[in-house]
Structure 1
Amino acid sequence: MDNWQSLNYQYLINAIAIVGEALYRRVMELQNQSTKVSSDVKKEFQTEKISMSVPSNLQNICTTFQLSDFERELLLLCAGMELNPDWTSWCAAAQDNPKLDYPTFNMALSILKNPDWNALTPAAPLRRWGLIEVGNANILTIAPLRINERILHYLMGISHLDEELLEIMEIVDAADFLVDSHQLLAEQIGKIWLQNKHQNLSKIPIVQLCGSELAMKRNIAAAASIDSGFNLYSIRTSTIPSNTNDIYKLIRLWQREYLLNKSVLFLECNTTNSDTNKENAIDLLIERITSPLIVSTDVRRVFLHSPTITFDVNKPTAKEQRHIWNQALNRKVFQLNGFIDTLVSQFNLSSNTIASVSASTVETESNITIQNQLWNNCRLQARPQLDDLAQRIAPATGWDDLVLPLSQRQILQEVITQVRQKAKVYQNWGFSSKGSNGLGVTALFAGASGTGKTMAASVLARELSLDLYRIDLSSVVSKYIGETEKNLRRLFDAAEAGGVILLFDEADALFGKRSDVKDSRDRYANMEVSYLLQRMEAYRGLAILTSNLKDSIDTAFMRRIRFIVKFPFPDASQRAEIWQRIFPTDTPLEGLNIKKLAKLNVAGGNIRNIALNAAFLAAEEEQPVMMKHLLQAAESEYIKLERTLTDAEKQGWV
């Protein structure tokens, strides 16, 4: 390559020398001197035939942009001006004007062979592709002509991205490792480009990579590009100009870059922009670019004016993830006693994430310590994305805080068992081969407000050492068609990585009994519900719905939920049990009558509110919590419930 660099430079200098000689002759002619070149000057223009097995970049430019002989020499004239300091005085002398010490079109027409006026028109290659730049002047023919800096460097054998593109693009390097399923996608993309080359299509099909993990899509795109002999550059839609003139300029610059450097553009288009002008600019960019283009999206987009081939990019398979874990953990694997299977079953991670988690795990002599590190580090992976989409609830309650009939507690234990034993049943015992539908652990917690549904979910999260996220379905459901599905997709995709427990609160509105479909809104509402249930069933973690009225939920939906836990309104004995457990051990108490407190006909959530508010009243009076504080707190709670505290409920309290 160094030898080519040297030959390429010499080839360029020789070509410039021939144009330089023509310029020098013009100077001599105007000065009424002999146009015969002296021996001293001749040395400057002396050239020797250069033989190159690989074409020079000057030859490449002439072929690529189909330059005529006149256009070629005009380009060399501008290049020589940058490389030879003597040319400033020569240009002024050749134009008989000391102010015109630069190349002009008028000068080119007078000194170069086969002059052609069309060469300077905006549609001709030199200006259309920005090979030369025309400076400001009142008269076009004496305006300064200058070679574009990117083109000058290219002629010199130095290839880099245009400065204007460098501000908004970055090169994407090949990944160190690509799993087999992703390598297969890269090979398929390469075949698309190869087929287009053979068929010589005017528009290369757009490759759309659809999925939630940008890093995986970049790695696949880089492998496809490099294997096909291309460079890969990425651009974010946020950096694309909205102005029409600017977007056309960007398109021309990129098209030129592709022709010079055989590059692929990777467009990071992962979110829909609310700015109409920006969306139009993105569509225009995609429509007009004829080079290989890979568009990265979260959800599939439709490109009306361009042929498109879409690939869904999923996380590595369970088998591939186990292999990545084994490679990343190296000798630590032997301390884990099959714990990798548990990780793969619970957390759905990319290659990069597994590598990061493994690197952050400190080796110790304790197997349990390493397992806890890995588990907790995996849990952390989903938090950055999920914290923007849902409310994380820190599990602070255990089984002792939960007052439920034995049958309900047994169902909750079954839920825990199924989450814990997924790896053994689905992977080791082969149940996953029967299909992915229905493999998720789904549950419905039904009961009146305050009966312990959220507390039960918190208990499960604590027992399973998983994060719990609560989703208000009213904030996810959108009046705009298709937006609800998009919101749910973002949520589940983010949750998959961290294996979190998803708690969908107040599901009654979305899962209410279906009436006849009367309009498109009804059809889309049913589609939204079906999509949520489909994602819940396929979700690798635990997904829970809560409902105040179980009977209001359509039976067709109920059949697709694996566990149903009914949370009954507590009777007097259960309320007494809740009151006995509600106060922390450090809370000072005095004279509490649990039997009388149990007469309050309220749910466990209300009991907690009354106890907490009474504690604040007692703290303000610097007294232990007493029945008088609880009475005042109970009266406030009843007002909130729009109920009246009866004499029978409060009799004998104070």
Structure 2
Amino acid sequence: MNVAPRTDLSSAKDDLSVEEAILRLVRTLCRRRILWLDKLAQQAVSEPDLGNAHARALADMDAPGREAEFLDAHAEASALWQEAGTLHAHIFEGENRLRHLADVFGLSIEERQLVLLCLSTAIDPSMHLVFQSISGVSGGPVSEDMAARLFGHGRNAMWGPGSPLSRWHIIEETGGVLRLDPYVQSYLRGASDVDPDVAMLCRVINETPEPLPNWPVEELTERLIGALQRGMPTRVTVLGQPLSGRTTLASLISARLGRSVSVIDTGRIKGQIWDLIRMRVQRQALLHNSTIAWAGENALKGIEPLPDSIDVEFVIIETQEDAMPAIGWHEERVKIPSLTSVERKTLWQRYLPGAQVWPDGALDQLADRFRVTIGEIRHVAAQGDDSFEGVRQRTRALSHGKLGDLARLVECPFDRTDLHLPDGVSDQLDEFLYEAKTRNAFWEDPGARRLFPRGVGLIGLMSGPPGTGKTMAAQVIANELGLDLFRIDVATMIDKYIGETAKRLKRLFARASEINAVLLFDEADALFARRTDTKDSLDKHSNADTSYLLQLVEDYPGVALLATNKRQQIDDAFVRRIRYVFYLPRPERAERLAIWQQVVSVLASPQQAADLRPDLERLASDLPMTGAQIKNAALAAVFLPSGTERR
């Protein structure tokens, strides 16, 4: 027999709290059960054959049918049953966390009653004494058998392996003893909003900052609402670099849906626990009416292959190639656009009021030169130093480490006066620097971008014998622009395994395109050399890698420099696509003399350089050395021991 509690609300008190109602309900059912157990005890006394528990069990004295007949005919038991029904309705018809949990996870009436019974011991631990008295088990644990008898379900099962209670770990069962999951228990009691098991990797965002003008917040929200009204769960893939506002966009859309967003750092999830973590994250989101944003290096592992209980989730990744089709979902993909120099200037003014007193043009230079994100601007502004130089240095330092082992940061101690070049090359370098300093604002003009949809990067090919200053020229360019210089050894990028070179190049440019730096591809001959023959499949793939690198370099939005020792080995088809081709020859006599004087002045003193002028002129005339050779020779002379020391 299965008798569910009645739902008559006539005797419920409006001011009765949910926890008070739960305790009163469970105590009422226990008192009703005790009436029957007292009847059995009296019968055992009057019938000697039933004097022990074994005899009573064999006689099935505690049969559900017998209990129901007795209680239905018992006036007090009937009144208790009616009161229990009223309390049950009071609990599950009001707005409270227990009702929300039951509705969200679709709990049956039996499953709700199991949760209710387990919760009663959390509210009042003394309930274990009551349960001990009606079960005869020391400690009074909650069991399915006891719950079934209290709520009138006889010997019927109240849940199983497929139950939401099992799937969502709402109730844990150990040796027949039932307990609420600790987080679920704290949630039901209003004490915790974040599951401790996911707290270290979860960040709940409720803020709704003002979106940037070019963010499609309203359009996306409208499409999401339409999909949800059609019963279609939605997955939004948000593309963009870190700190570009990806999670902010997710929070803005979530807020317009009336929800918070739980951002999960998947990089913190270790080991084979993905299914458990995913369940706990989803459980928390469902309980708190939140969306989920999977972020971090393993973001794609967080998403479910098919929609189930979550109706809106975000996937936050960096590149389009990382995205996966969302079969079974309404799918949206949005790329956070890079900030324009005008937008960067506005944001600097918003977050850094001290910029108002900077020298004329300083703020424009900062906004134009550094392609930072809104998060990076906020980070720099929060450091408390609003001086132009302090802000510039911190903004520049944001690029450090972003390329990992793909490139090496090169110090740039040289300025324009350190380069001694032929007049033609020197003029060409000045033209290159002028374009590098003014190009960002130019390419943000829609008309210019329409005419030149590709090839907006600034590329310089520098060739010449070793030691003629190719690397120094790159250092001067970076220093003049106030940017960092990253050196990429092309030879180390080439992998003997087919396809690996392209993967490395793709990863390099995906990261480099969003940083503030000059890229120097050293030993560029390795990939850009002429290829007259294709003898085998490796040659074909090498040609493909060259074409791919050429495409990436042309699409790179920053400044890229290619250095080679032998210009004639570079493919002519590639050279024709580069506007700045620098040939750095061995220095002539006048240039060698200028280098000798500068090096000696620094390593010794200007006076000694003047005193040694005749000797330096003779060296410049007699020895056709490169700049690097002159520097090394001067350095060796500094450490040359005196005559006494040689003896």
Question: What is the TM-score of this pair, normalised by structure 2?
Answer: 0.79
* Aligned equivalent of 2:188, options 155, 161, 173: 155
**Aligned twin of 1:239:** 268
* Aligned equivalent of 2:462, options 435, 445, 454: 445
**Aligned twin of 1:87:** 127
Deviation at 1:226? 2.0
8 Å CA contact 2:344–2:372 kept in 1: the answer is yes
- Please list, as runs of the form range in 1=range in 2, the aligned pairs for 1:118-517 lying within 5 A after superposition: 118-135=157-174, 137=175, 143-157=176-190, 160-174=193-207, 176-182=209-215, 184=216, 186-201=217-232, 204-214=233-243, 216-243=245-272, 246-270=273-297, 282=301, 290-291=309-310, 292-299=312-319, 300-303=321-324, 306=327, 309-330=332-353, 332-333=355-356, 336-358=359-381, 371-386=388-403, 389-422=406-439, 425-426=442-443, 431=448, 434-479=451-496, 484-485=501-502, 487-488=504-505, 491-492=508-509, 495=512, 499-515=516-532
> Hey, what's the Cα distance between the residues in 2 that align with 1:51 and 1:271?
42
Deviation at 1:334? 6.7
8 Å CA contact 1:341–1:423 kept in 2: the answer is no
Question: Judging changes above 3 Å, is the alpha-carbon distance between structure 1 residues 105 and 387 closer, same or farther for their aligned structure 2 residues?
Answer: closer
Question: Judging changes above 3 Å, is the alpha-carbon distance between structure 1 residues 148 and 386 closer, same or farther for their aligned structure 2 residues?
Answer: closer
8 Å CA contact 1:70–1:116 kept in 2: the answer is no
Deviation at 1:609? 2.0
8 Å CA contact 2:294–2:303 kept in 1: the answer is no
Structure 2 residue 57 is matched with structure 1 residue 30: no
> Hey, what's the Cα distance between the residues in 2 that align with 1:234 and 1:555?
50
Render the CA deviation track for 1:80-120: whole Å, top value 9, x for unaligned: 122234422221121234x2512212222322223464423
Question: Judging changes above 3 Å, is the alpha-carbon distance between structure 1 residues 374 and 491 closer, same or farther for their aligned structure 2 residues?
Answer: farther
Deviation at 1:501? 2.4
Deviation at 1:540? 4.6
Q: Secondary structure at the match of 1:164?
A: coil
Deviation at 1:353? 2.1
8 Å CA contact 2:237–2:323 kept in 1: the answer is no
* Aligned equivalent of 1:552, options 569, 576, 581: 569
> Hey, what's the Cα distance between the residues in 1 that align with 2:324 and 2:643?
65
For structure 2, the 5+ residue unaligned runs are 1-12, 43-70
> Hey, what's the Cα distance between the residues in 1 that align with 2:643 and 2:143?
89
**Aligned twin of 2:49:** none
> Hey, what's the Cα distance between the residues in 2 that align with 1:198 and 1:620?
93
Question: Judging changes above 3 Å, is the alpha-carbon distance between structure 1 residues 607 and 557 closer, same or farther for their aligned structure 2 residues?
Answer: same
Deviation at 1:446? 0.7
For structure 1, the 5+ residue unaligned runs are 1-5, 138-142, 273-278, 364-369, 629-654
> Hey, what's the Cα distance between the residues in 2 that align with 1:74 and 1:283?
31
Question: Judging changes above 3 Å, is the alpha-carbon distance between structure 1 residues 620 and 258 closer, same or farther for their aligned structure 2 residues?
Answer: farther
**Aligned twin of 1:70:** 110
> Hey, what's the Cα distance between the residues in 2 that align with 1:467 and 1:576?
30
Cα RMSD after superposing both structures: 4.0
Aligned length: 592
AA aligned to 2:146 is M
* Aligned equivalent of 1:561, options 567, 570, 578: 578
Question: Judging changes above 3 Å, is the alpha-carbon distance between structure 1 residues 518 and 288 closer, same or farther for their aligned structure 2 residues?
Answer: farther
AA aligned to 1:146 is R
Q: Secondary structure at the match of 1:200?
A: coil
> Hey, what's the Cα distance between the residues in 2 that align with 1:576 and 1:147?
85
Deviation at 1:545? 0.8
> Hey, what's the Cα distance between the residues in 1 that align with 2:516 and 2:122?
61
* Aligned equivalent of 1:14, options 21, 38, 48: 21
Question: Judging changes above 3 Å, is the alpha-carbon distance between structure 1 residues 190 and 71 closer, same or farther for their aligned structure 2 residues?
Answer: same
AA aligned to 2:165 is L
> Hey, what's the Cα distance between the residues in 1 that align with 2:438 and 2:150?
85
* Aligned equivalent of 2:153, options 81, 99, 114: 114
Q: Secondary structure at the match of 2:245?
A: helix
**Aligned twin of 1:366:** none
Question: Judging changes above 3 Å, is the alpha-carbon distance between structure 1 residues 110 and 331 closer, same or farther for their aligned structure 2 residues?
Answer: closer
> Hey, what's the Cα distance between the residues in 2 that align with 1:620 and 1:462?
41
Question: Judging changes above 3 Å, is the alpha-carbon distance between structure 1 residues 345 and 430 closer, same or farther for their aligned structure 2 residues?
Answer: farther
> Hey, what's the Cα distance between the residues in 2 that align with 1:620 and 1:222?
76
AA aligned to 1:25 is R
**Aligned twin of 1:614:** 637
8 Å CA contact 1:9–1:156 kept in 2: the answer is no
> Hey, what's the Cα distance between the residues in 2 that align with 1:297 and 1:455?
37
> Hey, what's the Cα distance between the residues in 2 that align with 1:378 and 1:7?
60
| Larger CA deviation: 300-309 vs 415-424 | 300-309
Q: Secondary structure at the match of 1:583?
A: helix
Q: Secondary structure at the match of 2:207?
A: coil
Question: Judging changes above 3 Å, is the alpha-carbon distance between structure 1 residues 219 and 520 closer, same or farther for their aligned structure 2 residues?
Answer: farther
8 Å CA contact 1:579–1:598 kept in 2: the answer is no
8 Å CA contact 2:239–2:335 kept in 1: the answer is yes
Deviation at 1:485? 5.0
8 Å CA contact 2:358–2:388 kept in 1: the answer is no
| Larger CA deviation: 521-530 vs 392-401 | 521-530
> Hey, what's the Cα distance between the residues in 1 that align with 2:268 and 2:148?
41
Q: Secondary structure at the match of 2:158?
A: helix
8 Å CA contact 1:478–1:484 kept in 2: the answer is yes
AA aligned to 2:393 is N
| Larger CA deviation: 434-443 vs 540-549 | 434-443
Render the CA deviation track for 1:573-627: whole Å, top value 9, x for unaligned: 544443343323452767946425653444222232222223222379769xxxx
Question: What is the TM-score of this pair, normalised by structure 1?
Answer: 0.78
| Larger CA deviation: 295-304 vs 584-593 | 584-593
Deviation at 1:492? 4.7
Question: Judging changes above 3 Å, is the alpha-carbon distance between structure 1 residues 485 and 341 closer, same or farther for their aligned structure 2 residues?
Answer: farther
Question: Judging changes above 3 Å, is the alpha-carbon distance between structure 1 residues 212 and 21 closer, same or farther for their aligned structure 2 residues?
Answer: same
Question: Judging changes above 3 Å, is the alpha-carbon distance between structure 1 residues 551 and 116 closer, same or farther for their aligned structure 2 residues?
Answer: farther
8 Å CA contact 1:70–1:115 kept in 2: the answer is no
| Larger CA deviation: 81-90 vs 384-393 | 384-393
> Hey, what's the Cα distance between the residues in 2 that align with 1:144 and 1:580?
89
Aligned-residue identity in percent: 27
AA aligned to 2:577 is R
Deviation at 1:402? 2.6
Question: Judging changes above 3 Å, is the alpha-carbon distance between structure 1 residues 44 and 499 closer, same or farther for their aligned structure 2 residues?
Answer: same
8 Å CA contact 1:271–1:297 kept in 2: the answer is no
> Hey, what's the Cα distance between the residues in 2 that align with 1:149 and 1:377?
45
> Hey, what's the Cα distance between the residues in 2 that align with 1:294 and 1:351?
20
Question: Judging changes above 3 Å, is the alpha-carbon distance between structure 1 residues 333 and 595 closer, same or farther for their aligned structure 2 residues?
Answer: same
Question: Judging changes above 3 Å, is the alpha-carbon distance between structure 1 residues 190 and 431 closer, same or farther for their aligned structure 2 residues?
Answer: closer
8 Å CA contact 2:520–2:563 kept in 1: the answer is yes
| Larger CA deviation: 447-456 vs 205-214 | 205-214
